[in-house]
Amino acid sequence: MTPEQARAAEAFRKLRGVDPFGPFIPLLQSPELMTRVSALGEYLRFRSALPPRLSELAILITAAHWRQQYEWDVHAPIALEAGIPQSVLDAVWKGDAPDGLDIPQQAIHDLCVALHRDRTVFRALHDRVQVALGEQATMDAIAICGYYALLAMVLNSQK
């Protein structure tokens, strides 16, 4: 490792309590980028305005869209633990609309699918999501989609 990479890896250890893993290993090729991506991820994973059952749903919709098996394998057990049924996970991986979502989960699903599939969120959907989740949680959900798309791109470029 270069000195910059070693400093970035140490900063990651201090922030996350573990050595760099998964997408953070190739991100070390750009140490400052890895440090900044890690800090954003720490907020989105552990301190966003979304409860885990909603943030994990957004993460899995993104992983399924990008066909990112590593992210799916990491987050599917977390989603199950957060109370998302296996039937919902199965539908998400297949790209189907899951049955039985509550209003906040449906809002997350529709928002994330629109972002990934349509690359836009029309005002009516945005307003519906904000009513269901609130302003900050809506923005955090959008950021989760972008963040995990970035991680998927990093991982998918390493096959």
Please write the tens of the pLDDT for every residue from 22-32: 999 999 999 99
CA pair distance 12, 39, nearest whole angstrom? 8
> What local confidence, expressed as pLDDT, does residue 76 receive?
98
Q: Which of 46, 49, 60, 40 is nearest to 109 (CA)?
A: 60
pTM score, whole prediction: 0.95
Q: Are 159 and 153 in contact (CB under 8 A)?
A: no
Q: What is the pLDDT of residues 58-112, one digit of tens each?
A: 999 999 999 999 999 999 999 999 999 999 999 999 999 999 999 999 999 999 9
Q: Which of 29, 49, 51, 27 is nearest to 38 (CA)?
A: 27
Going by pLDDT thresholds of 50, 70 and 90, the confidence category of residue 159 is: confident
Average pLDDT for residues 133-139, to the nearest whole number? 98
Q: Which domains does the chain carry?
A: 3-46 (no CATH), 52-156 (1.20.1290)
